[in-house]
A and B are shown apart, each in its own frame.
Chain A
């Protein structure tokens, strides 16, 4: 028990004895974890951004003259059944007159003596689907319903957004993999350098009869402690960054978007850093033991 307590104390004391090495290691780990945390948070919020953009997608369907409100209701019901459509709202001929008056300040019925505005519908698209939303098949199906005079939509913009979203989603696993690999290497090498700077201690301990476990344990404790301190600092740093971005978005942009920080990201970072520092210190210390 005395021996175990001594080794734990040694691990803790070593972080203090080698303040500069410890600080450098904590800083390197902090930067690496912060970048991974930021990437993970960005990944988590990608869908939120897309959700916001999709809420702005709008298809306006103008029915032919002569289509009554009742007939339009039936057609809108068919539109709602199309895959990718979230909802569709009818704009009756009377509503169209009101909208015209709101926009131009004139009552078109008074001007012309009759209502020339057709019944129309505003179609909103599904925001929540994870795959690429294709608008062209939806347009084709709306046309197929018949009695449709004109369809207005932002086809190019929607395609561009959806295409880029798909590209990001496709690349994300590879990008995450590379970033995690680089992070693992940074953390491992930082720990290795920290152990390397004390190879004389390892040699001395070996010469006085210390077992391999006795030599390695303080290094493992030290590595875990460094990882722990880094990951503790990363948590508020990520929250501050997300809140800072939210402040900028709400005050300096017209985006109605609020980014969120998922604590699961931090738990994931915590587990990752604990595993790497434990394994890294173990391997690094073993490397200097003949």
Chain B
């Protein structure tokens, strides 16, 4: 469960989010829309405790922003998967090594890692590309690899920050469908996008963020 209570955060240049109140229940698939610079990424970063609110409280899976330390943040992120617009894949490692990374962090054995990576690659349709470097993949494939890395540890929450930002319409549509498949497995998903056409009519709650202020659409 993700809960925002009167959360405000201002970056040094002034923009940010202002007095947000929001609740996302376990198992929800929620969209967050808003133009570039509206505060979507700030909101996402507040959820995975990359930022801590200036005022108010963020509560994620029972973990409170007011009681965070380096160790607790690392611990909280173990149950959160993240997908980024710029993928954040490591260019010096092949796909297998990139996707396996969260499992190494969690201390899985080599055998378990191998099995899980194969399953994740199959789920995102990259089963024959495990030896490829990220630079050898298309944008869509890189984003699916990023998704595989996010879901491999079976997180409770999946945050997707503009995951279709660099993709063509077909790849974008496929990615959203993939997210829906993952959601059906029980994962709570929050996806941020500025492309309203991509997310409308899917029967999911949509939050709109504009100039740091949130409203339900």
For residue A52, CB closer than 8 A to chain B, the reply is no
**What is the minimal beta-carbon distance from B118 to any residue of chain A, in angstroms?**
18
When the two chains form the complex, which single residue of B50, B70, B92, B153 contacts A17, counting CB atoms closer than 8 Å? B92
**What is the minimal beta-carbon distance from B120 to any residue of chain A, in angstroms?**
14
**CB-based nearest A residue for B91:** A200
B contact residues around A18 at 8 Å (CB): 92
- In the assembled complex, the Cα of A208 lies from the Cα of B80 at a distance in Å of 8
* Chain A 1-52 residues near chain B, CB threshold 8 A: 2-3, 6, 17-18
* Chain B 91-106 residues near chain A, CB threshold 8 A: 92-93, 101-102, 104-106
For residue B68, CB closer than 8 A to chain A, the reply is no
Total number of A-B contacts with CB less than 8 angstroms?
53
Given contacts A201-B90, A207-B48, A207-B88, is CB(A2)–CB(B74) below 8 Å?
no
For the side of the interface on A, what is the size category?
Answer: 10 to 19
For residue A210, CB closer than 8 A to chain B, the reply is yes
For residue A134, CB closer than 8 A to chain B, the reply is no
A contact residues around B101 at 8 Å (CB): 204-205, 208
Given contacts A2-B109, A214-B105, is CB(A207)–CB(B50) below 8 Å?
yes
**What is the minimal beta-carbon distance from B72 to any residue of chain A, in angstroms?**
11
A contact residues around B13 at 8 Å (CB): none
| Most chain B CB inside 10 Å of its own CB: which residue of A18, A204, A208, A214 | A208
For residue A253, CB closer than 8 A to chain B, the reply is no
With an 8 Å Cβ cutoff, the count of chain B residues facing the other chain is 26
Given contacts A18-B92, A200-B90, A201-B90, is CB(A208)–CB(B82) below 8 Å?
yes
- B104 near A3 with CB under 8 A, answer yes
For residue A113, CB closer than 8 A to chain B, the reply is no
For residue B135, CB closer than 8 A to chain A, the reply is no
For residue B61, CB closer than 8 A to chain A, the reply is no
- B104 near A204 with CB under 8 A, answer no
- A207 near B82 with CB under 8 A, answer yes
B contact residues around A201 at 8 Å (CB): 90
When the two chains form the complex, which single residue of B70, B77, B109 contacts A212, counting CB atoms closer than 8 Å? B70
**What is the minimal beta-carbon distance from A290 to any residue of chain B, in angstroms?**
9
Summarize A's interface: helix, strand, loop or mixed. Answer: helix
- A208 near B105 with CB under 8 A, answer yes
21 interchain pairs, CB-CB under 8 A: A2-B108, A3-B104, A17-B93, A200-B88, A200-B90, A201-B90, A204-B88, A204-B90, A204-B101, A205-B105, A206-B74, A207-B50, A207-B77, A208-B82, A208-B105, A209-B75, A209-B77, A210-B105, A211-B105, A214-B105, A289-B70
Query: Which residues of B line the A interface, CB within 8 A?
Result: 48, 50, 70-71, 74-78, 80, 82, 88, 90, 92-93, 101-102, 104-110, 149, 153
Q: A208-B102, A212-B71 are in contact. List 16 more A-B contacts (CB 8 A).
A: A2-B107, A2-B109, A18-B92, A201-B90, A204-B88, A207-B77, A208-B82, A208-B101, A209-B74, A209-B76, A209-B106, A210-B105, A211-B71, A212-B70, A212-B74, A214-B105
